[in-house]
Amino acid sequence: MKTHDEVVNVLLKRPGVKVEVARIEREEALLLDTLLKARHEAGLTQADVAARMGTQAPAVARLERALATGKHSPSIATVRRYAKACGKKLVLKVA
């Protein structure tokens, strides 16, 4: 039986998989940059955003770290709540 890392390494050798992973990583980086910009423009700390979202600061830190590392994709509802906490509105566009 192969380990998780071994399976990932095999899959990443496939050109289509590698391209898709790169696309997702770019999207996550863009989302993180956008969320951090909104938070900074609002002059808010992670604790401030957390309070406005009705959660704890470590949850906001985990969300931002997850986007930075690509280990987790937040739900649209969570991103919407984060944006709202920063005084912004989430707008999705399918082009």
Look at residues 3, 59, 69, 1 and name the one whose alpha carbon lies nearest to residue 32. 69
Residue 45 maps to a domain: yes
Q: State pTM to two decimals.
A: 0.73
Within a domain: residue 93?
no
Look-up of token digits 């999705």: 92
* Cα–Cα distance for residue pair 60/51, rounded to 1 Å: 10
Compute the average pLDDT of residues 23-31: 71
What's the CATH number where 39 sits? 1.10.260.40
pLDDT at 70: 76
Is residue 91, in this structure, part of any structural domain at all? no
The Cα–Cα gap between 28 and 54 comes to 24
Q: Compare 80 and 71 and report the one with higher pLDDT.
A: 80
Q: Residue 16: give the domain boundaries.
A: 4-85
pLDDT at 25: 64
16-20, 55-59, 80-84: range with lowest mean pLDDT: 16-20
**Is 95 part of any domain?**
no
Looking at the structure of the chain, the number of domains it has is: 1
